[in-house]
Chain A
Amino acid sequence: MKYTKYITSAAGLLGLGAILVACTPAPTMKTGYDYAIPETQAMQDDDFSNPAFVWVDIGEEQWSTVDGEAGKSCESCHGDASSMKGISTSYPKYSAEDGKMRTLQHQINYERTERMKAKAWKWEGDEMLGMASFIKNQSKGMPLNVSIEGEAAPFYEAGKAFYMQRRGGLDMSCKNCHMDYPGVKIRANVLTNGLPNGFPTYRLKWQKIGSLHRRFRGCNSNIRATPYKQGSDEYTNLELFLTHRANGVAVETPAVRN
């Protein structure tokens, strides 16, 4: 990944980008990292300067903390957190029990309420964001790989329809910005492909880490559209569409964005 990135950018400088890209394996889609300014990239590159690690550390601590009536922690069943390597790349995932898709955050709360008999965590709370970023961080660098086959297919279609639908007072769709104009400036921001691979993400504007669904709410409100609830079916299906679109792109969690 990194290696390919260096080669192509160096080649771009020499004006040979096109030739080299043709010889390297299919390039993956550019992420928010690729469009970020060097200072922001540097913050993400170094775990010690990345402010999101405050939450990753919360997650690590919770991993082995016993909670709930069953008297268990995540570690009691899953052992060392390295067992989570690669796991998050296939979420959202169809659950036969729920009859719909589960994001990783839904799965975390399922473990808590069903297996640990503990209280569910708030979607945007420090423990939840901490655990989600700790688990996803175990897969950092691995390609996203969700399935939209079989039972997942109709949920994918619903997510896609949401993405393409114009909405709000400005009557814009996600596609209008993130498929039609990646790399283009919209006032002070550079639009990107709007990928989910860095979430939970530390946003300088938020001064904290936040979930993908919080970002959806922001993008919806900006176009004067009614936001949906974090964890809602609408946003879960949208996450499935976005993640499938980003299949093959490496996990960056926890990313830093402006």
Chain B
Amino acid sequence: MTYRTILSTLVGIALFGTLAANANAAEYMIVDGTIPDSLTGKPGDAANGKKLAINRKKGNCLACHVMPIPEEQFHGEVGPDISDVGSHFTEAELRLRLVDPKVLNPDTIMPAFLKPGTHDVLKKFDGKTILGEQDIEDVIAYLMTLKGQYSQ
């Protein structure tokens, strides 16, 4: 595609020894377990990010994570509690964890929000990513506001 996709593939090979070729892949560059550059160049909207994290058809982060959202029932516990995640991660680290967490842990259950599925995908979702690029920037902006403990 463009030089960025090529770069990310090359860096991918250099860092992880695998070739994650994907025609539909968005353009981003992985550096040391992070994606340093914003996917859109536009700042994220934290309020919208929170909505996406709740929405079962979008991020549905609550399916697996406890978050400081007491107005929502049923927080899952498959992943770690992320109510203090803004104190522990940079935006660049969070960006890779949302775009494609399998780069960090190939066996993870956490979905890659910016990579389409490749096997037996329902027609309706074929070639589609779970979230869009700006959605991911919005969720990151929201996560960066999460600084402090929360108990359900």
> Which A residues are within 8 Å of any B CB, using their own CB?
165-172, 176-177, 180-181, 184-188, 191, 220-221, 224-226
Contact = CB atoms under 8 A, between A and B. Distances in A.
A170 B130 contact: yes
Contacts of B125: 168-169, 224
Given A169-B128, A169-B130, A181-B109, A187 B117 contact: no
Given A167-B120, A226-B123, A176 B77 contact: no
A171 B111 contact: yes
A52 B125 CA distance: 35
Contacts, number: 75
A185 B62 CA distance: 11
Contacts of A180: 109
B63 A169 contact: no
B122 A171 contact: no
Contacts of B118: 171
Contacts of A220: 120
Contact of A225 (B63, B76, B121): B121
Given A181-B78, A185-B76, A186-B78, A172 B109 contact: yes
Interface of B: 56, 60, 62-64, 73-78, 109, 111-112, 115-125, 128, 130
A226 B118 CA distance: 12
A166 B62 CA distance: 21
Closest 9 CB pairs of A and B: A169-B125, A188-B74, A167-B120, A176-B109, A187-B63, A171-B117, A167-B119, A225-B120, A169-B117
Nearest to A221: B122
Contacts of A191: 78
B120 A168 contact: yes
In terms of DSSP, what is the predominant structure of the interface of chain A?
A: loop
B128 to A, nearest CB: 7
A225 B124 CA distance: 10
A225 B120 CA distance: 5
Listed residue (B74, B116, B128) with the most chain A CB atoms within 10 angstroms of its CB: B74
Find the residue from B60, B111, B128 having the highest chain A CB count within 10 A: B111
Given A169-B116, A185-B76, A188-B73, A226 B121 contact: yes
Contacts of A177: 109
Nearest to B74: A188
A224 B121 contact: yes
Given A169-B128, A170-B130, A171-B112, A185 B77 contact: yes
Nearest to B122: A224
A185 B121 CA distance: 25
Given A181-B109, A184-B78, 20 more contacts: A167-B121, A169-B117, A169-B128, A171-B111, A171-B115, A172-B109, A185-B77, A186-B63, A186-B64, A186-B76, A187-B56, A187-B62, A187-B63, A187-B76, A188-B73, A224-B117, A224-B121, A224-B122, A226-B122, A226-B123
B105 to A, nearest CB: 12
